[in-house]
Structure 1
């Protein structure tokens, strides 16, 4: 009897030990992380955020099976600074040269500091950047030689693998780069790029408008070297074999993203998948052309949603869905006419790209930087969660460093807060306040938003954007006035004084945390 009792006790003890060990292993498991970064997608462009004229079922699925945020933000109302903030944890306005970059700009991400991909590398992840880059390449203030391996780029900032184009699809050079090498390069046809003056004798949109399949909007500057029937910003000569076809970009980037997932399915991976959609020039593949009833901008929204669906299918196929945290967001708010006469304005009737928000891309109002953010991780995030926690992409670095129990040095990620519990739906409390850049700086704390005085046009005529520029201070109660229609600065001067002082203090301090 005693032996049987002892055997039973030992069996129970062993079972408990095994169960505890298994639970600990499962708890400590590192999820794969895929961050899908869309381009120029507004708060109202997705059906899960109220769009009725277009449907985005695949993107919506992430929120249905996970969490959808209503108070998520970029740092800025344009792409380069938003991407800088995401990868460095530093407000872009703290560093010179972080405005919208030309295609031949030097790398602006520091290679000697902690970055988001380096945090994942330090945790044992394989990392990749696929898609739009737009953060510069090569040595500081040194002209890029496109015909030789490029010395600095995504790899030096923490990505093990990179497949990308240098800037945006409306800027030269219109080439794909894998790690350090331009793809398809023929050294007998060398590439040259210039943003100051015309080079070579290739047709331009200005001189040869009859060759354009997508006309340029007047005065936007999209009328330099013609590539694939589209005038670009900047001049390019040579590299005929290297040049992309716009209609194929989405498929090329998707194939590279899927390849990385397949090759790293047995090890934790971080994929920064930066979509070209829905930035201009909007050139969907024939699969989506004419399918949206909203013109080319609507068609590329459908293409973007399909791309996300293909990533979800790949995760299901490889049985990685349960162990993968997938996040979808955008780099700034929406813009309709941003350089090409594609009838986006006329065909958008009945659709509000920014939803109920005021402004859009380039704006200090909420439409410039409050963006969609949906996330799914079946092991952790409760399906169907909706959160109004204040979160910002700049917090990704501190949040994941904390998740991996990594120490952040004092000079790293100075403006990034740990909001991992909010990101994973475990807390309704996000960061305490947020400073955003849309021309003018603004600061939001709780329901109050203060926009500092700034000279400049109230409406940017080229894009018809409500900029938020005002020589007087602006104060809005976002809990009652999300559309920022009523300026309360005159009614609450003490609140204005307090928030202006807080903004000045943070700006002068050089760090937020």
Structure 2
């Protein structure tokens, strides 16, 4: 009896050991990291042709992965692009997906499937660090309690964010819905309609400012910088702008270290080079181009330090990294910071026309890189891809059956195994839309100024249809609509089909 018991116990131990060994040998699902810059242009990265600024850490990703020459954000402004990235849905389908004030309610329906929700279903821990700008709460937010719904309610297990942008109130961080460092003795109040009595503004207190405002950035002053929107109280919770890049980097690195033993998804949304540009003292003067160039250098360093952390933790060969920007560049967009005067020969838009807010290519064609050490072979791809497609491609990667409504599965393209990208995409800029199909770009007629004189950017507005062959004219200098009536009709018909009932104006216009 003793021998039988001993043999049985030994067998069970052996079976258990084999099972554990098999479990240990099962490969962990790949980590996924999206590194998202803010207002970084196609020409702001040396791997994309910039000669006046050096971005060695961005370039390492480009040189070690797939550098897409035709990669798009969905929109030429921030909130819509971020909505599209997380939902896989065109932002023009959601009328609230436009540049939001810091007090706006959440614009992603909490019942909607998102990238983090989909990945959570597949066993991932999910986190966001950095800029959010998709709204918080359900209206009339009380910043002195937990603010919800927000990132945690649309799929993120962990969130460390700023509510909107660096130039908008409230100038505080929120961690999992709570304002960080807030004292109950000094509650925080935010208002976008009127100022609080006795609170100084940039409009009437120039002596309190270290940065001169431009284009309406003249409300509440914090850290010597006037903002959009008003706030009162919450002094212990206010961020220091010059430390923001370090704050976000620290949180992103800590997230990786804390979740390295499980598959994770991290959305690391840097604030650079959006205004106000406030480089840490370590980076002041490093670009020779003023604050805008300096914060690009700072962001490049942050990305390098973050990638170094992945490497030090032994995660680099099991982590898919996506690097991109939410829209094209703008130089002067709220403050006088010498960025125009010191731009020199640098062209943030590269060979493209337009910039942020524009329907021309520079509004939405952005740096777009995929990197996975040992899995993705270095390459340059001309395949047309969109941030919309990350949803369905990530789903394919992790064996999920979920898909984004407008998201295409381009996993093989992102991994460098195929050159067959999108055939067409609808691009958006401040509620206006245009079509890109193959090598052709079509912009329908729109009322409004041809140039936003405040920021000196061509918007793409015209009383006539515009058609460009990007193979021959990447800079969109020659409108060939009149010479190609059949191609124009083909583009307009497809555009109307894709937009459906969402685009009425074009139905009232005749092709010329």
Does the pair score TM above 0.5?
Answer: yes
Q: What does 1:454-473 align with in structure 2 at a 5 Å threshold?
A: 454-473=446-465
Could you tell me which residue of structure 2 aligns to residue 45 of structure 1?
44
> Is the contact between residue 85 and residue 387 of structure 2 (CA under 8 Å) also seen in structure 1?
yes
> Is the contact between residue 289 and residue 296 of structure 1 (CA under 8 Å) also seen in structure 2?
yes
* 1:484 pairs with 2:476: yes
> Is the contact between residue 324 and residue 367 of structure 2 (CA under 8 Å) also seen in structure 1?
yes
> Is the contact between residue 200 and residue 237 of structure 1 (CA under 8 Å) also seen in structure 2?
no
Query: How far does the alpha carbon of each residue in 1:128-177 deviate from its partner, in whole angstroms, 9 at most, with x for none?
Result: 000000000001xx200001111210001110000001000000000000
> Is the contact between residue 327 and residue 364 of structure 2 (CA under 8 Å) also seen in structure 1?
yes
* 1:405 pairs with 2:396: no
* 1:258 pairs with 2:253: yes
Q: Find the residue that maps to 2:213 and give its secondary structure.
A: coil
1:365–1:28 CA distance, 2 compared to 1 (3 A): farther
1:324–1:426 CA distance, 2 compared to 1 (3 A): same
> Is the contact between residue 28 and residue 262 of structure 2 (CA under 8 Å) also seen in structure 1?
no
Q: Whole-Å Cα distance in 2 between the matches of residues 322 and 299 of structure 1?
A: 31
Query: How far does the alpha carbon of each residue in 1:430-474 deviate from its partner, in whole angstroms, 9 at most, with x for none?
Result: 112111002431111110111111111000011001100111111
Q: Whole-Å Cα distance in 2 between the matches of residues 399 and 24 of structure 1?
A: 27
Could you tell me which residue of structure 2 aligns to residue 291 of structure 1?
286
Could you tell me which residue of structure 1 aligns to residue 369 of structure 2?
374
Q: How far is the alpha carbon of 1:405 from its aligned partner? A: 2.3
Query: How far does the alpha carbon of each residue in 1:38-75 deviate from its partner, in whole angstroms, 9 at most, with x for none?
Result: 00000000110111111000110011111111000001
Could you tell me which residue of structure 2 aligns to residue 155 of structure 1?
152
> Is the contact between residue 78 and residue 332 of structure 1 (CA under 8 Å) also seen in structure 2?
yes
> Is the contact between residue 317 and residue 375 of structure 2 (CA under 8 Å) also seen in structure 1?
no
Q: CA RMSD in A?
A: 1.7
Q: How far is the alpha carbon of 1:209 from its aligned partner? A: 1.1
Q: How far is the alpha carbon of 1:350 from its aligned partner? A: 0.5
Q: How far is the alpha carbon of 1:120 from its aligned partner? A: 1.3
Residue segments in structure 2 that go unaligned for 5+ positions in a row? 1-20, 503-512
* 1:422 pairs with 2:393: no
Structure 1 segments, 4+ long, off by >3 Å, are 22-29
Q: Which moved more, 1:199-208 or 1:340-349?
A: 199-208
What is the aligned counterpart of 1:204 among 201, 204, 207?
Answer: 201
Q: Which moved more, 1:170-179 or 1:426-435?
A: 426-435
> Is the contact between residue 193 and residue 236 of structure 1 (CA under 8 Å) also seen in structure 2?
yes
Q: Calculate the TM-score normalised by the size of structure 1.
A: 0.92
What is the aligned counterpart of 2:275 among 264, 271, 280?
Answer: 280
Q: How far is the alpha carbon of 1:285 from its aligned partner? A: 0.4
Could you tell me which residue of structure 2 aligns to residue 326 of structure 1?
321
Q: Find the residue that maps to 2:363 and give its secondary structure.
A: helix
Could you tell me which residue of structure 1 aligns to residue 213 of structure 2?
216
Q: Whole-Å Cα distance in 2 between the matches of residues 415 and 317 of structure 1?
A: 37
Residue segments in structure 1 that go unaligned for 5+ positions in a row? 1-21
How many residues are matched? 482
Query: How far does the alpha carbon of each residue in 1:264-291 deviate from its partner, in whole angstroms, 9 at most, with x for none?
Result: 1111111000001110000000010111
Could you tell me which residue of structure 2 aligns to residue 100 of structure 1?
99
What is the aligned counterpart of 2:493 among 486, 501, 505?
Answer: 501
Q: Whole-Å Cα distance in 1 between the matches of residues 333 and 490 of structure 2?
A: 37
* 1:308 pairs with 2:299: no
1:480–1:116 CA distance, 2 compared to 1 (3 A): same
> Is the contact between residue 432 and residue 446 of structure 1 (CA under 8 Å) also seen in structure 2?
yes
* 1:394 pairs with 2:388: yes
Could you tell me which residue of structure 2 aligns to residue 188 of structure 1?
185
> Is the contact between residue 119 and residue 400 of structure 1 (CA under 8 Å) also seen in structure 2?
no
Query: How far does the alpha carbon of each residue in 1:229-256 deviate from its partner, in whole angstroms, 9 at most, with x for none?
Result: 0000011011011111100000000000
